[in-house]
Amino acid sequence: MTVEAIHVGADEAGALRSVESATAVAGKGLEGDRHFHDEGAGRGQALTLVEAEEVEGAGLGAGETRRQLTTRGVRLNDLVGKRFRVGEVECFGSHLCEPCAHLQEMTRPGILKELAHRAGINADIVVGGVIRVGDEIEEL
């Protein structure tokens, strides 16, 4: 149950870049990412996670789902409504992160149906720190 990849981007339209680590700020998001909110992120808007197994099953490449963290070996849907740790960062699984029309525009028709209820989760960052590729994920 590990972090396989981290992707951040400057804006909604721009390409995401792969990084080895990112600073997670409680209540705000990942520094340098398009979803970072200086004034505070709304419920579930600080962090997005997706399973590598689902990304691969949909025939997409790393980062193409536009989720920040790609994980392996963990059923993310099971973390909704629960606290969990990603490396040193404590999170709370807020809700499913369903695929959107923007994802379909950037990939291919049919991806919305294909990834429904399997496109990852949104989470709040409760205790900040650094998230690194290779970090373990554990339910608290």
- Fold classification of 2-139 is M1 Pyruvate Kinase; Domain 3 (2.40.33)
Helix ranges (H only) for the chain are: 52-57, 101-106, 111-115
pTM for the predicted model, two decimal places: 0.92
Per-residue pLDDT of the chain (140 residues; tens, 9 = 90+): 999 999 998 766 667 899 999 999 999 999 999 888 888 777 778 999 999 999 998 888 878 888 999 999 999 999 999 999 999 999 999 999 988 877 778 778 888 888 888 899 999 999 999 999 999 999 99
pLDDT of residue 13: 64
> Looking only at Cα atoms, what is the longest distance across the chain?
38
